[in-house]
Chain A
Amino acid sequence: MSLVDLSNVVKRFGALTVLDEASLNVEQGEIVAIIGRSGSGKSTLLRCINGLEAIQAGRIVVDGTVVNEPGTDLRALRQRVGIVFQSFNLFPHLSVERNITLAPRVVKHVPNAQARELARVALRKVGLEDKIDAWPDQLSGGQQQRVAIARSLAMSPHLMLFDEITSALDPELVGEVLKVLEEMAREGMTMMLVTHEMGFARRVAHRVVFMHHGKVWEQGPAAQTLAKPNTPELETFLSAVLH
């Protein structure tokens, strides 16, 4: 069974249909890059997967949980699905350690001493162990984003969602964040990432998914799909972003 299974998902905001019968499967250990024009529904797709947005039709199954059912325990699901946003969204009033240990402590009831160790391990993975006692506003954008990744990792998720996590960063800081993702890829984490970094998608992703008008328009193995698109829409999109 796929780790993520979306079938014919319809999401509307009022009269606007943002996801239009989108279907997509992601297997355990797979890395899927999601690309597409602004407004094509990429962020919405990720937000539906962890239940931040309710859908109007279709079916979403994640890690064995049907997301869009009335009785679904979304809190339990979200402990297994990490999401990292473009704007980091660290909690400004908490130290790096507290940012990372908040959910383990209050959701999983991990004792304080153990939680600090958890933070240390997560920070080591993103190369920021020395920042455990820093505050978010003392960190660069790239460091903040790596802490946000560590915060998700500390919950030991089965799936990670990344929504344009390098788009708000200065170009020279993009590399350090992508390096963390590559390391996670090597460790076998299942990842869905919305990205504009085509080079990164080609290098790290197993599969590329092109969203267009709220549909999964075209998908296939990363290198092949990016080199030889099947649809004119993807071809147009690629020539626009690659020049």
Chain B
Amino acid sequence: MTYSFQFRDVFAAWEFLLDGLMLTLLLSAVTMVAGLGIGAAGAAAKVYGGPWVRRIVAGYVEAIRNTPLIVQLFLVFFGLPGIGIKFDAETAAMLTLSVNLGAYSTEILRAGLEAIPKSQLEAGRSLGLSGWQVFRYVVFFPALKVIYPALASQLVLLMLATSVVSQISAEDLFHAASIIQSRTFRDFEVYAVVAVAYLALALIFRALFALLHHLLFARR
């Protein structure tokens, strides 16, 4: 017996898929901004902060990098209410993903800051630039260039990782797929469609990052 593919039922539920896609994109966008913000603060604290600040940030980074994302998510969504802190699914998802990306990007951004030789900072200071100006005009751009590929990969990974939020019933793309599956029983078709959707998203993300790279770093 040969299997006959039936995509019609899956595509009939396109509105579901589109709503899910929207939440996936929203989660990715908010998390990128918040997570990179946390990462920038974390990296600055690690490179320029005092010993205690550095230790606290290192603890945060290691705790996040050495536990599964889904456990972090469950801890926030199911665990925190136990001690009286309650979020809806979307908020819990954004919070967890941001804190998670914050840890990974702290390490990436720190590597960028440390990749700039001390002699560059001294050249800037010797010309009368303030500490902030040295960072802004001497360190920032070359540091970003060094870590750009790692950062772009991390952001694509983050977008794919948002699929975990379906486990706390946040209605993202993958959640939509599960709903459609339970209605149509077209397992192969529905998961093939979302796989292709995630693949397309990832490729679009990479293309956008490549374009941004060109805009930022190509010489005029």
Residues on A facing B (Cβ under 8 Å): 50, 52, 75-76, 78-79, 82-83, 85, 87, 89-93, 102-103, 106-107, 135, 151-152, 155
Residues of chain A lying within 8 A (CB to CB) of residue B130 = 75
CB nearest neighbor in A for B121 = A89
B138 adjacent to A91 (CB under 8 Å)? yes
CA distance A87 to B122 in the complex (A): 12
Which residues of the partner chain B approach A85 to less than 8 Å between Cβ atoms? 119, 122-123
On whether the beta carbons of B119 and A151 are closer than 8 Å, the reply is no
Q: A75-B128, A79-B127, A82-B126 are in contact. List 6 more A-B contacts (CB 8 A).
A: A78-B128, A91-B124, A92-B142, A93-B142, A106-B129, A152-B127
Do A107 and B219 touch across chains, with their CB atoms under 8 A apart?
no
Find chain B residues with CB under 8 A from A102 CB: 127, 129, 137
| B125 interface hit (Cβ, 8 Å) | yes
Q: How large is the interface on B (under 10, 10 to 19, 20 to 34, 35 or more residues)?
A: 10 to 19
Q: Which 7 A-B pairs have the closest CB atoms?
A: A103-B127, A89-B123, A79-B128, A78-B128, A107-B128, A83-B126, A93-B141
Taking a contact as CB atoms closer than 8 A, the residue among A87, A93, A135, A155 that contacts B127 in the complex is: A155
How far is B131's CA from A106's CA once the two chains are assembled, in angstroms? 12
Q: What are 29 A-B interface contacts by the 8 Å CB criterion?
A: A50-B126, A52-B125, A75-B128, A76-B128, A78-B127, A78-B128, A79-B127, A79-B128, A85-B119, A85-B123, A87-B119, A89-B119, A90-B123, A91-B124, A91-B137, A91-B138, A91-B142, A93-B141, A93-B142, A102-B129, A103-B127, A106-B129, A106-B133, A106-B137, A107-B128, A107-B129, A135-B219, A151-B127, A155-B127
Q: Which of A78, A135, A152 contacts B125 (CB 8 A)?
A: A78
Residue in chain A with minimal CB distance to B143 = A93
A52 touches B122 (CB 8 A): yes
Residues of B within 8 A of A93 (CB): 141-142, 145
Chain A CB within 8 A of B120 CB: yes
From A52, A91, A92, residue with most partner B Cβ within 10 Å: A91
A71 to B141, CA, bound (A): 31
Q: Are A89 and B128 in contact (CB under 8 A)?
A: no
CB distance from A194 to the nearest CB of B (A): 15
- Complexed CA–CA distance, A91 and B135 (Å): 12
Q: For chain B, residues 165 to 211, give those with C-beta under 8 angstroms from any C-beta of chain A.
A: none
- Rounded to whole angstroms, the CA-CA distance of A91 and B141 in the bound complex is 10
Q: Do residues B129 and A75 form an inter-chain contact, with CB atoms below 8 A?
A: yes
Tell me the minimal C-beta distance from B134 to chain A in angstroms.
10
Residues of A contacting B137 in the complex (Cβ-Cβ under 8 angstroms): 91, 102, 106
Cβ 8 A contact of A103, one of B120, B129, B141: B129
Instruction: Provide the residues of chain B in CB contact with A76, threshold 8 Å.
Output: 128
B23-48, CB under 8 A of A: which get 1 and which 0?
00000000000000000000000000
Interface residues of B in 11-31 (CB under 8 A from A): none
Looking across the interface, which residue of chain A has its beta carbon closest to that of B123?
A89
Asked whether, in the complex, the Cβ of B119 is within 8 Å of the Cβ of A107, the reply is no
The proximity string for B residues 141-158 relative to A, scoring 1 for CB distances below 8 Å and 0 otherwise, is: 110010000000000000
A106 to B133, CA, bound (A): 8
- Residues of B with C-beta under 8 A to A79: 127-128
CB distance from A57 to the nearest CB of B (A): 23
- Chain A residues lying within 8 Å of B125, measured Cβ to Cβ, are 52, 78
Q: How far is the CA of A13 from the CA of B59 in the complex (A)?
A: 31
Among A76, A90, A92, A93, which residue has the most Cβ atoms of chain B within 10 A?
A93
Task: Determine whether the beta carbon of B145 is less than 8 Å from that of A91.
Answer: no
Which residues on A sit within 8 Å (CB–CB) of B128?
Answer: 75-76, 78-79, 103, 107, 155
